[in-house]
Chain A
Amino acid sequence: MKIEVMLYIYGAVCISMIVFNIIYNLLLQHREPLLKRRYRKMKNQIAFQLQNIENNGKITENHLHFLAKKLRRINGLIVFYRVISEMKKEPINCFDLYLNQIQPVVLYLAVEYLDKENLQAGYFTYFLSQCKTRRYRPMDSLQDILLKYLEKDNLYCRCNALQALYDFGNEDHVIAALQLQDDGKVFIHEKILTEGLLSFTGDHEALIQKLWIAFSSFSVHTQQGILNYIRFQSGNYPVQMFSIMQNETMDKELRLSAIRYFGKYYYAPALEPLLHFVQDNDPDHWEYATVAASALSLYGQEKVIEVLKDALCSGNWYIRYAAAQSLTAHHVEYSDLKDILLGNDRYAREMITYHLESTKLQHAEV
């Protein structure tokens, strides 16, 4: 290729990039006024239908057709979402009734957007996740379609679909959704799973019961999210957690999560195993010892103090740190720690001194 040709090509592309920039900027400036005009039109339409509901109890057939036609396009859906978000803030009597009556359109849109590009499908699930008026009211066909959105290779689409399902409050659909997202194609962080489950609007206890039944069907990653959710939500499951903690064939992270459960909820039978974890000198087991030492801050027995004091002399920095933290949580006095404070173990002494001083500082300044 001649150099000149290359220069011309590059030059032409450069000029087209500048032109693109200018056009894009003009479009951006034009987009908001356009959306505002559509917003006003849509708001008037909806206000008229609200009036209809007040007079006749229902919206017109034409309005459903209008919505089905307009909301198929992404800009129409964006405008509609803006209008209803704004209207939800106002005390309008029949607004919920209006949202109920447009459900056939929502169902139709759910099928339409399923075949659209991932970004638009993601927006539709966002729209559903934000329109929370239908919580507690099962609408199985919409939820069944939502499950299909969980098969899409788009993280945001999956997260928004999950969120919408949490808002519907149906345990079976949530469990089916968790199983679908667990296909290994898209990574969903366990924090997202935990936070999402915590926002479930149905019966948490019923959901947890069903999660326990289906527990083994999930990957370790999802199991971890579920265990964290149970830890934050309910103290009613020490038996199941105890069995996970004691099961040596279980994944390390799951066992650690179970140990943390007993740091949040007191369970007398867990004390001995926790002490055993802390006393375990196997260097490969330091994480169990550290988490167990933290969990022991909830167990006030004399034996616990002794074990924690021993752990202060551990060769592992993290175990010493956790033990010192637990000891200060037990409000031990300087006199109780005399042997450490005056002892020969400099590391233990430094660690406990720091935590005592730091706690004092925190209490003085809070």
Chain B
Amino acid sequence: MTDVYKLFFDYIGAYFILYMIGYASFLFLSVTVGSSILYQLKRRNWLKNELQGQYYVPVTIIIPAYNEEVTIEDSIRSLLALEYKLYEIIIVDDGSSDHTAEVICKAFHMQEIKRPIQRKIPCQPEKAVYESYDWKVPITLICKQNGGKADALNMGVNAAKYPYFICMDADSVLQHDSLEKIVRPVLEESNVVAVGGAVRPCNGTKIENGRVVSYHLPDKIIPCMQVLEYDRSFLAARILFDRFNGSIIISGAFGLFKKNIVIDAGGYDASTMGEDMELVVKLHVFCREHNIPYRICYATDAICWTQAPEKLSDLCKQRRRWHIGLFQSMMLHRRMLINPKYGLVGMISYLYFLIYELLSPYIEIFGIFSIVLAFLVDLINVPFMILFFFIYVIYSAVLSLTAFFARIHTIDLKLTIKDVLKAIGLCVVEVSCLRLILAWVRATALIGYHKRKTVWGNIERKKITFK
């Protein structure tokens, strides 16, 4: 029997060595490449290698809202304070059960109007449309029947008047120059169909008129660890994949899209929870299958501040939703997997997301059970296990810190000693504890997902202190 166990654990050991080497190498590569690109960009800006004039590409900002009465007014006010000149704001109230629409109508003097909206992409019908021309840019509020976030976004795309649109969350705030920065890739490269912005947790940050006036790591542990996690994943899945036009995620909190190509591709998929990822994957598939030259890129300096969940329960809800979205997107486009027709997107990006994002929680949980089992049958070298775990924590923590400091230094933010010590301490906790908790949450996310697959996430909102 012991021989059988030994053989079993030998295979498991070999598998995990390959798995860990693959992940470590990827993380290593992404952080080194990502950091060096951030530093290069910093040097490029220092030497004024950027477009000097003010070139305005007309943009529609779409905010899908569901029960956002607490944050929506401040979000719109923050959008009105942007330095950009040529844009419109469309808020799509997806059948809220609170007073979202009333708050908007009252705050922005909206008038009801009979506006015809062309259904280029199918979506639930509108109940009422309101407009206001009383502000710097036109504001439109569309109240529609509930159909989910993707459905609300589709309504916004249908109503958009401009050739590019930006999707963003109702609880997010754009930095003063973020619109200018996110349209830059459109001017700098031909065939750009989508641009992702950098999403940063705003907890602990004081923002006035879209400018950061003081930056600190959040006081609470959960959002603080998310800051470190965001930076690491930003360098990994964003900057590195961007090098070979392989990005398959643009956050729903802040992304710019070319309207006609999104419409031709069929818009957001209302049957998925991860509509943001699904759309980007769909754009890859659509452009490659129709031989349309295209580019999906990242604007690392276009910043959107968003509220990171402060409670563990809210964080778990968010990650469960993301994991279901990831599963749905990957299943919908499974034909991309190692398919040369889709180039490096299918060969690298899809494979990475499959192994190290979608399957990773199951692999990690399986690894822990294997360790427990090996311990029970006395087939594990405990001191080596502890040493290996220690190496893993140090390695991951160093990479997280590198990503974090690279981001902080390249955007000229100043940290206090307290923040530095907090970052060092919490990145160890993040890789050793939070990661395991979230692995469990993600591993169990798909249980009963059919019931929840199109419902809006219900995370506790706090009022944004926008001045």
Interface string of A65-81 (1 = CB under 8 A from B): 00000000010000000
Q: Is the CB of B49 within 8 A of A156?
A: yes
Residues 28-42 of B at the A interface (beta carbon under 8 Å)? 28, 31-32, 35, 39
With an 8 A cutoff between CB atoms, is A353 at the interface? yes
With an 8 A cutoff between CB atoms, is A60 at the interface? no
Q: Is the CB of B114 within 8 A of A350?
A: yes
Q: Is the CB of A10 within 8 A of B28?
A: yes
Q: A11-B395, A14-B402, A129-B52 are in contact. Are A366 and B187 (CB under 8 A)?
A: no
Q: A17-B398, A350-B114 are in contact. Are A122 and B47 (CB under 8 A)?
A: yes
| CB closest residue in chain A, given B116 | A350
With an 8 A cutoff between CB atoms, is A151 at the interface? no
With an 8 A cutoff between CB atoms, is B115 at the interface? yes
- A-B contacts at CB below 8 angstroms, number: 112
Residues 113-147 of A at the B interface (beta carbon under 8 Å)? 118-120, 122-123, 126, 129
Q: A122-B49, A157-B49, A189-B186 are in contact. Are A357 and B133 (CB under 8 A)?
A: no
> Which of the candidate stretches A21-29, A231-239, A300-308 sits at the interface with the other chain?
A21-29
- A357 partner, pick from B39, B114, B399, beta carbons under 8 A: B114
- B398 partner, pick from A18, A191, A357, beta carbons under 8 A: A18
**How far apart are the CA atoms of A160 and B52 in the complex, in Å?**
8
Interface string of B160-187 (1 = CB under 8 A from A): 0000000000000000000000000011
Residues 1-49 of B at the A interface (beta carbon under 8 Å)? 17, 21, 24, 28, 31-32, 35, 39, 43-44, 47-49
Q: Is the CB of A25 within 8 A of B409?
A: yes
Residues 330-366 of A at the B interface (beta carbon under 8 Å)? 347, 350-351, 353-354, 357-358, 361-362, 365-366
Q: Is the CB of B52 within 8 A of A10?
A: no
- B409 partner, pick from A24, A189, A350, A357, beta carbons under 8 A: A24
Q: A347-B116, A354-B116 are in contact. Are A159 and B51 (CB under 8 A)?
A: yes
Q: How far is the CB of A80 from chain B (nearest CB, A)?
A: 14
Taking each of B17, B57, B187, which has the highest tally of chain A beta carbons within 10 Å of its own beta carbon? B187
Residues from chain B with Cβ under 8 Å of A122 in the complex: 47-49
- A366 partner, pick from B21, B114, B133, B398, beta carbons under 8 A: B133
Q: Is the CB of B132 within 8 A of A365?
A: yes
With an 8 A cutoff between CB atoms, is A15 at the interface? yes
Residues from chain B with Cβ under 8 Å of A13 in the complex: 28, 32
Q: Is the CB of B51 within 8 A of A120?
A: no
Q: Is the CB of B24 within 8 A of A10?
A: yes
With an 8 A cutoff between CB atoms, is B378 at the interface? no
**How far apart are the CA atoms of A366 and B51 in the complex, in Å?**
33
Q: Is the CB of B44 within 8 A of A119?
A: yes
Residues 171-195 of A at the B interface (beta carbon under 8 Å)? 187, 189, 191-192, 195
Q: Is the CB of A15 within 8 A of B114?
A: no
With an 8 A cutoff between CB atoms, is B50 at the interface? yes
Q: How far is the CB of B179 from chain A (nearest CB, A)?
A: 15
Q: Is the CB of A3 within 8 A of B406?
A: no
With an 8 A cutoff between CB atoms, is B134 at the interface? yes
Assign chain B's interface to a size class.
35 or more
Assign chain A's interface to a size class.
35 or more
With an 8 A cutoff between CB atoms, is A154 at the interface? yes
Q: Is the CB of A361 within 8 A of B48?
A: no
Residues from chain A with Cβ under 8 Å of B406 in the complex: 21
Q: How far is the CB of A150 from chain B (nearest CB, A)?
A: 15
Residues from chain B with Cβ under 8 Å of A347 in the complex: 116
With an 8 A cutoff between CB atoms, is B339 at the interface? no
Taking each of A10, A13, A196, which has the highest tally of chain B beta carbons within 10 Å of its own beta carbon? A10
With an 8 A cutoff between CB atoms, is A6 at the interface? yes
Residues 1-60 of A at the B interface (beta carbon under 8 Å)? 3, 6-7, 10-11, 13-15, 17-18, 21, 24-25, 28
With an 8 A cutoff between CB atoms, is A317 at the interface? yes
Residues from chain B with Cβ under 8 Å of A195 in the complex: 53, 55
Residues from chain A with Cβ under 8 Å of B289 in the complex: none
Q: Is the CB of B409 within 8 A of A28?
A: yes
Q: Is the CB of B55 within 8 A of A7?
A: no
Q: Is the CB of B190 within 8 A of A163?
A: no
With an 8 A cutoff between CB atoms, is A155 at the interface? yes
| CB closest residue in chain B, given A362 | B133
Q: Is the CB of A187 within 8 A of B190?
A: yes
Q: Is the CB of B49 within 8 A of A357?
A: no
**How far apart are the CA atoms of A47 and B115 in the complex, in Å?**
64
Residues from chain A with Cβ under 8 Å of B409 in the complex: 21, 24-25, 28
Q: Would you mind naming 11 contact pairs between A and B with Cβ atoms under 8 Å apart? A: A6-B21, A10-B28, A13-B32, A14-B402, A17-B402, A156-B48, A159-B52, A187-B189, A354-B116, A362-B133, A365-B109
Contacts A7-B391, A13-B32, A129-B52 supplied; 15 other A-B pairs, CB < 8 Å: A3-B17, A11-B391, A11-B394, A18-B398, A74-B47, A119-B43, A119-B49, A122-B49, A160-B52, A187-B188, A195-B53, A350-B116, A357-B114, A361-B113, A365-B133
User: A-B pairs with the 5 shortest C-beta distances?
Assistant: A156-B49, A126-B48, A122-B49, A123-B47, A14-B398
